[in-house]
Chains A and B, each alone.
Chain A
Amino acid sequence: MILLVDLCYREGSLGYEEFVLPVARIVEKAGHAVRAVHYRAGPGTVPDDAVAVILCGTPLADTTFLSGLENFSWLADVRVPVLGVCAGMELICRVFGGTVGPGEEIGMTEVTVLAPDPLFAGRESFPAYELHTLACTDPGPLRVLAVSDQCIQAVRHPDKPVYGVMFHPEVRNEWVVERFLSLAGEKRINP
């Protein structure tokens, strides 16, 4: 089972359909069961039957999740692969000691891969859909995998199978989610 975490400002918000369900559809299409939980409703740990976790995005105006970092202490000790999407990457950046600051992109942009990683399957660049007003301004210990001309676009933890992408892969880049799931299943991204 793949655990999807809804980072929107409240459980059952209108953001759920826009930011969680499209990712859920990709995961189900790839043959996995899905469980979606709101970040405030979670047990504070990753369930035993979860083989990977995806932290989903939020509406552009919604940065509420960043003022409740205590809800994400489980991330520091996570043992399964994690993919943070947009808001999820901002969260990963904060939890692992990086900083998040102003960084706006709305619409399509070009993402350039700097560091080869199995997640990007050998691609050097690709167009991607962006929807954020904040960005990872200092990655701290996280490795920068990709950038746009505005900001860091992808990071990976140096020791843990934890990724963040600033763009929304559910729009025109479903392959990134599929690739993450495939690598997680093969345990190829475990340390």
Chain B
Amino acid sequence: MAVIDRTDAPFDLDVGDFYDQYRMMFLIRRFEEAAERQYKAARIGGYCHLSSGQEAATVGAVSALAEDDLLITGYRCHGFALARGVPPEAVMAELFGRAHGCAHGRGGSMHLLDVSRGYYGGWGIVAGQLPIATGMALSLVRQGKEQAVLCELGDGAVNMGAWHESLNLAAVWNLPVVFMVVNNLYGMGTSVDRASAEPDIFKRAGAYRIEGERVDGDDLEEVEWATARLLRAAREERKPAVLEALTYRYRGHSVADAGLAYRTRDEIDERRLQDPLVRTRESLEARGVPPEGLDALEAEVEAEVEAAVVYAEGDAAPSVDQLAAGVYAAGSEEQFERMRPGSPAGEEELVFAGGLGR
């Protein structure tokens, strides 16, 4: 574990910020619990990857982003979307596959996004987002912008070729991107020790001569400070970096996985003793925030999550007439006109009638 010199912190958190961050962590926890219930009630389909236990890593890192910095993640992305400010209603509606979901009901749990907040999506193929993050950083450089990209990935992604290729490109081109490895110790059911020849993932940055740092991912401040420092170096000095946040996911890989085939219940219980929510709350109380205020906050967040579920339930399904919306850019209709004669049933009815490019 890298020892963080707290006197070197890039800024001082005031209690107000800290309070808001705790609120967000608590919101993510309750949101994930609600998502699991709704999945089991068959109101959410597909894959549903929960992040309970990882709230400090998520909120700490996102808090360090400047307003115009960019974010891109893998598929365990509910918490990142919420932390970046996507309203819980829009995230829950997406999980329900509804028209006012943040991806219009077309992406679901794995493909949340909000371009207005600089969140360029949850991506479903392991490590697929890394080269894309690199390209986003390249674009920032080309446009002369002093912004950075935070690219989240899981520990399972670091043995893909795309990891190596992206880190190398980012390093040789001096791109403003921080690759944040959320190391929850298991890539699906395979522990980091079984999957990685160098399980100290942050050390791999050395192979590209860029900075690598490991933090206690359950310590909100430590995550935020380290992320802030690395993002600042990316923005101001165009230095890419690897940040490894050690954390733990309480639930299985997805809701369909009980999460007990490859780890023990004791291990999970032991990790719960260091729950980032409890730690953060204790820290707030130690700074003089009265417990009653925190209790009230928790009740408020629970109501907010419940309201998101009610909103999602009441939202309309996307129109089937719009099946082909977005597949091609507006104005492409004419290019496809001459493909129609004799086209097979699937295409004829659903692509051409479905409205290209809307």
Partners in one complex: no
